Amino acid sequence: MERSNIFGQRIRALRKGLKLTQEQVAKQLNISVAALSRYEKGSFEPKSLALIVDLAMLYKVSTDYLLGKTDLKNPELDFDKLDIGLSSKTYETLTDKQKEQIKKIMLILVGEDN
């Protein structure tokens, strides 16, 4: 992912991952479609921290993820990547089934396997 527009690339990928249109997201954030398009293309950056927080809340990711400070979308929810010693790159190559198995094993190890 190109570092110069990581914010735009990430908000675009998150929007598409949720199968949302620019119109839907712009309406939820109370911004214009043109502004959202410029953010996604990297030709414009949000001037408001509140907008970055609103985007993070909408997509359920951390602001650090949106800004490219981390590759963990939400460290509180992605604890399995943090605690098992795998790099994000390696973790992302695992299948969903493998990720779920790792999570179950970790829960057993910490005694939360109810």
Q: What local confidence, expressed as pLDDT, does residue 72 receive?
A: 75
Q: What span, in angstroms and rounded, lies between the C-alpha atoms of 81 and 92? A: 9
pTM passes above 0.75: no
Amino acid at residue number 17: G
What are the residue ranges spanned by the domains of the chain?
Answer: 3-66, 79-109
Fold of the 3-66 domain: 434 Repressor (Amino-terminal Domain) (1.10.260)
Q: For every one of its 114 residues, what pLDDT tens digit does the chain have, with 9 covering 90 and above?
A: 555 689 999 999 999 999 999 999 999 999 999 999 999 999 999 989 999 999 999 998 989 999 998 887 876 655 544 456 667 678 778 888 988 888 788 777 766 555
Going from the C-alpha of 17 to that of each of 13, 62, 108, the distances in angstroms are 6, 16, 31
